[in-house]
Chains A and B, each alone.
Chain A
Amino acid sequence: MAYYAIKGGEDAIRNSLHFYKDKIENSNNLEEEKIINSLGFAIDKILSEGSLYSKKLASQAIKRSAGDLLNAAFFLRAHRSSCQRIGICKPLDVNNMKIKRRISSSFKDIEGGQILGASNDYEIKLLIEQESLEYNYENYSDKTNIIKSALTPLREDGLVKVLKEEEEPWDITRSFPLAPYPRSALMQMMSRGESGSMLGFAYTSMRGYGDVHPTIGDLRVGSLDINFTHPFSNKEVKIGEIEATSVECVGTFNKDEDDEVKLTTGFGFCFGENETKAISMSILDLTLYNNTYSVGTENIIASDFEMIMQHIDGIESFGFANHYKLPHYVTFQTDFQIFKSAKKYAQEEKE
């Protein structure tokens, strides 16, 4: 009888977990090292969305979720909550990135040159086997390859609108701000936002719901040193390196606070190699803070701070969507009673 079926939760969960364990048995047998080396983009996506930089834990998470990457990022976030914070590293400057790839679509010729690096942007996407191409290239070392952003000359000439700097950046993992949200909080939210959600919102502003048509001023992928003040010696020490993607995009021009006409830019940054996400983030940043040129529509979803701040987190949105699988029989029963009495009232009014 159904009533007792509801009470069988304990057994049901145990069995369900058991079946799931069988289902992911093959994934669990994969070697972590192999996942890290072979499914790099999957690792990078969940590092970024899980906001925890550990490739080893990320590969475990992928195994435990059999490739469901939203679930995998959720594993990382949950793990994060049990880690005590030791301290805060020195600010990172993306100009100091050891570059593996760096392109600019705003300029043909840039200082340091265009570095395509490893990319399949120009591959003809056919699943049939293609003959391998011959290649020759100059050797370069990413250890020393440090180039300033392609927008640096424009910035030095004072042509780029500069947003007001915050005294102390917000930390959304320690306190969640109320509206109006500081930019640092929004940037953090986006930096660990879900790639697909961000792409979706950014796409609305590129298409009919806004008019942000940016060019990529500087897109770079590479590694950054993490420096930390040693608690005992008080000296600055390097404690590791992270791979990251950063994007500066350029929008239209606009008047700044001093009434000067300046070029507007947006910034995107995230852990790992996530170019689509970083580009989307830079477009959202641009749309949020430089949204005065819209002609087509007043309904610019991506320039609404609430819309971005509250709706791009993968862990939150996927969790809430899935909670509909939980029992709702009490709430539904209340709905149903109200529905019946409203229907009756409307019927009587008609008569």
Chain B
Amino acid sequence: MRYAFLDEEAKKEIRRSILKAIAIPGYIVSFASREMPVARGWGTGGLQVTLAIINESDTLKVIDQGCDGSVNAVNIRNFIHSVTNVKTTTSTKEASIIQTRHRVPEIELKEGQTLVYQVPMPDILETVEPNTAKAKLMHANANYSKLWVLLYEDTSMFGDSRISNRYPVLVNNRYAMDPSPIPKYDTLKLNNCKALQLFGAGREKKIYAIPPYTKVEPLKFEDKEFKVESFQGHFCNRCGSKNSFLDEVYLDDGRVKYFCNDTDYCDMNLQGKL
């Protein structure tokens, strides 16, 4: 098998798309998107981005909904390891590349790290305009009025936007961007992040990026607070953390307990290494 699975032409194309994406923060770059041995919708976009940038000196971490041990994360990590032989880790601090599905690690990322998001729907305008030609024109004109109208209608009817995850953000005061289905809790971590953030959508054949130290803000009305998920009164039943994103777990006896969603954070906290 070829190093990093993809043929060299494909890698070259993906790298060029990534460079273009970094040069225009939040802008959606089209790419050919090869079929991967993992099904469409299971992270083929993130996978292609990772395989195009990875080399022997990298240390790889893969998480799925916050967990390194989740089936899809295991599957993807094993595949990347089998075609590159790179060192893998579950530690956020040690990783140089972190491929993620729908979470930003709790431990703050640092310079030199790359966070690769798996993206199902790359264009936030899809919510309000499914026609891609029209959506492209709206991006060109920075015309996000339809998103604002949606936000207004939701606020008037339900007191807040009904968008719970993949909440729209404005990147570098210019492009409205889909941050992938991360919780609102994670949305604020995109802002001024020290790491490079790359987004790959395999099925939809799109790549976009947020360079380090870029301004990223959730789309919201000036007089409205951006409310994130709250776990008030709850704490992790394993490490005791009170300030992390928690999973609600139903025990066999019907009781509900809470645990850290980010398993690396939970482990580090337990070992007193935070």
Residues of A bordering B, CB below 8 Å: 1-3, 6-10, 12-13, 74, 77-78, 80-85, 172-180, 306, 310, 315-323, 326-331, 333-335, 337-339, 341-342, 345-346
Contacts and interface: CB of A to CB of B under 8 A. Distances in A.
B136 to A, nearest CB: 6
B250 A81 contact: no
A23 B185 CA distance: 43
Nearest to A344: B159
Given A7-B69, A335-B164, A338-B164, A81 B8 contact: no
Contacts of A321: 41
Most buried by B among A174, A319, A321, A335: A319
Contacts of B64: 326-327
Most buried by B among A319, A320, A334: A334
B159 A341 contact: yes
A330 to B, nearest CB: 5
Contact of B39 (A7, A319, A345): A319
A246 B165 CA distance: 46
A68 B209 CA distance: 37
Contacts of B39: 74, 315, 318-319, 322-323
Given A2-B251, A331-B165, A341-B159, A84 B9 contact: yes
Contacts of A172: 32
Given A81-B5, A330-B261, A9 B102 contact: no
A306 B6 contact: no
A341 B230 CA distance: 11
B16 to A, nearest CB: 11
A341 B160 contact: yes
Contacts of A6: 67, 69-70
B22 to A, nearest CB: 19
Given A84-B7, A338-B162, A338-B163, 8 more contacts: A13-B75, A82-B1, A85-B7, A173-B32, A328-B65, A329-B65, A329-B247, A346-B157
A334 B183 CA distance: 6
Nearest to A333: B248
